[in-house]
Structure 1
């Protein structure tokens, strides 16, 4: 008797979606070729640089938040998918164009291109319950629309949501914002520094993009106030950047008031304040999910709604080593689908999610940071590998990741000048 192959829909052809497609294609005895729905005409998701902002030629929002001169803040030695290294001739810290080239090579090597439907928007992903035992008998109705406006509805056994979370800007509510006389901008719309030359810019947020963009701005001749609520940065910053406490209000005359009581004028207020989760094609209530700006819950293993565990959110965690993390999540998800991993009951999965999140709150995580992984990412990936029986990430990935994180805190301007080489699964070296 011929085995019925499972059909999987993948939403998004960024790094996570390509990783999902690659592993589905590697299991032809269990899965049919995936259908990858991609909103744009290219692969790469956030790594696909588009100079234009706002909307594309078809009136659809431009999702990429990539800026022209971005270089990776992780070396290629830890960024790569574990089974697909970067060209060793390249330097460790790469411009975004090299990541895009790498993802295209990945597509070619694994024959992913034919599975992608470009310029196709997913409008609705809806569970279709075929029997009372919801967990065992759910199919998925996926409605998509191409550029001609032609709608198509298809049935799948599973859906992988790989649509990313770097496209819907989060702008905190600053009292009096309408009074600001200059330009208000989120980093999602920032592309390069030259237009800000000679300007006074207040940058809100001092995580990776806030710091990188501030350094770019001062090199282009801007004067930057880096406003944030984190402990004061103690490493050396370029002379054109001064640190400040958080912005608390915009005065009636358009000046900016900071938490420490100081007041200043600026030509531009730039929000490097992160992004919101948004999945317009999902009905959260129907799925038993709560989708907030910075949180999606409950998700068992940070992936599955306990009520519908054949829906997988890949790449939802933050503060991670992304491609290796996706690689682990995808393999775990496929092990669930092919029966290699048995899931607990819905109630047990929900209890587990609440326990994990409660533990993070007890350790001091704020609600908006509950999906930040930091050190937890390594045990998380190891646990996925142990449970699903695939090779764990080599310890050298964690070791080099930590070293680069340390270097970034000490030398934010020049840590990218270093080059590294992996010697073994547990050792790396700094190249002279």
Structure 2
């Protein structure tokens, strides 16, 4: 919804997390004229794209709450050198907080009888770096956790449902001062994060407005009811494309429509769907086989696609 107020507002905003969603949030907030503080507990930015080699000795099942967070990136992507950490504590008051910590740091562990007394090795797949030690093993997934956030019960995590959140982004009682980026799963991440970040930035600047508290709560309850009626368990609340691949793309376009963000090009949609269907059908080999030459030709003609020549190559 576009605001009738033309005067732009500048806010002091804290973004928690410097992964892909946090970085794009900081960028879009600054574009709107906001002052941004970006907080990251790791030694560098990048989130899940920051490769950490030595992780197994930390906590194989992720049960210890205060160990440093590491990414899920595999071997040979990128290595960084650690930086000296400061022991200083600083208190600051912000007009708004954007939570962009993702959901790939806190392991989701099953409840299995005898798990605490099992003598053999137990390890979460978050520790994965190379395949050899993990062949023929069973793996667990991730869950949502916000130990740094005290909302007095206005936002809770119940069986991996973070709520109540309007459009997976705003808790109605605290919006738009508190927002979340990157909560949904099974979406096309980067364009989704970008459109979400633009929406938050424009809401904080006063260019757009949210529905009333009553309307947002009604929408949330209707969404929950539709998921329950479809037989989707609570812990899959934020899985957008749970059973239908095309929902990935529809949801990205829906968020883009909130802020006039360009819809995903048709060639990109077909490329994504082709990759998703191929990965579902050929999980072990899909990375090494593809048939998308025609789509790539169309992509090269897109104004949003830049092809590097040999003279531009970083190698």
Partners of 2:194 and 2:122 in 1: CA distance: 37
Distance 1:68 1:376, change over 3 A: closer
Report what 1:291 is aligned to.
157
Q: Give the total of aligned pairs.
A: 279
Q: Output the aligned Cα RMSD.
A: 2.8
1:160 equivalent to 2:98? Answer: yes
Q: What TM-score, normalized by structure 1, do the two folds share? A: 0.59
1:62-105 Cα offsets, whole Å, 9 max, x none, are 32242534xxxxxxxxxxxxxxxxxxxxxxxxx643xx89xxxx
Which one scores higher on RCO, CA 8 angstroms, separation ≥ 6? 2
- Per the alignment, residue 278 of structure 2 pairs with 407
2:51 paired residue among 49, 52, 57: 49
Structure 1 segments unaligned to the other structure (5+ residues): 70-94, 102-117, 120-145, 197-212, 218-223, 225-268
8 Å contact kept, 2:41–2:68: no
What is the 5 A alignment of 1:8-47?
8-28=13-33, 31-32=34-35, 34-47=36-49
- Aligned partners of 1:308, 1:424: CA distance in 2, in Å? 44
Structure 2 residue matching 1:364: 3-state secondary structure? coil
Distance in 1 (alpha carbons) for counterparts of 2:230 and 2:66: 41
Please give the alpha-carbon distance, in whole angstroms, between the structure 1 residues aligned to 2:263 and 2:144.
29
Q: How does 1:376-391 map to 2 (within 5 A)?
A: 376-391=247-262
**Alpha-carbon distance between aligned partners in 2 of 1:193 and 1:332, rounded to the nearest angstrom:** 40
TM-score, structure 2 as length reference = 0.79
- TM-superposed CA distance for 1:186, in Å, is 0.8
Secondary structure in 1 aligned to 2:90? strand
Give the structure 2 partner of residue 123 of structure 1: none
What is the CA–CA distance in structure 2 between the aligned matches of 1:331 and 1:296, rounded to whole Å? 21
**Residues 50 and 60 of structure 1, relative CA distance in 2, 3 Å threshold:** farther
**Residue among 332, 336, 339 paired with 2:206:** 339
Question: Secondary structure at the residue paired with 2:141?
Answer: coil
Q: CA shift at 1:320, angstroms?
A: 1.2
Distance 1:3 1:284 in 2: 28
The more displaced of 415-424 and 305-314 is 415-424
Following the alignment from structure 2 to structure 1, what is the Cα–Cα distance between the partners of residues 131 and 172?
A: 45
Instruction: Pick the structure with greater CA Rg.
Output: 1
Does the C-alpha gap of structure 1 residues 39 and 179 become closer, same or farther in structure 2, counting only changes over 3 Å? closer
Q: Which of 335, 349, 352 is the aligned partner of 2:216?
A: 349
Contact kept? 2:169, 2:181, Cα under 8 Å: yes
Give the direction of change, closer, same or farther, for the CA distance of 1:372–1:4 in structure 2 (3 Å limit): closer
> Structure 1: which 4+ aligned runs deviate by more than 6 Å?
none
1:296 alignment partner, SS class = strand
CA deviations over 1:190-215 (Å, ceiling 9, x no partner):
32233x3xxxxxxxxxxxxxxxx6xx
Higher strand content, 1 or 2: 1
Unaligned residue ranges in structure 2 (runs of 5+):
1-6, 60-64, 306-315
Q: Deviations over 1:232-274 (max 9, x none)?
A: xxxxxxxxxxxxxxxxxxxxxxxxxxxxxxxxxxxxx64x221
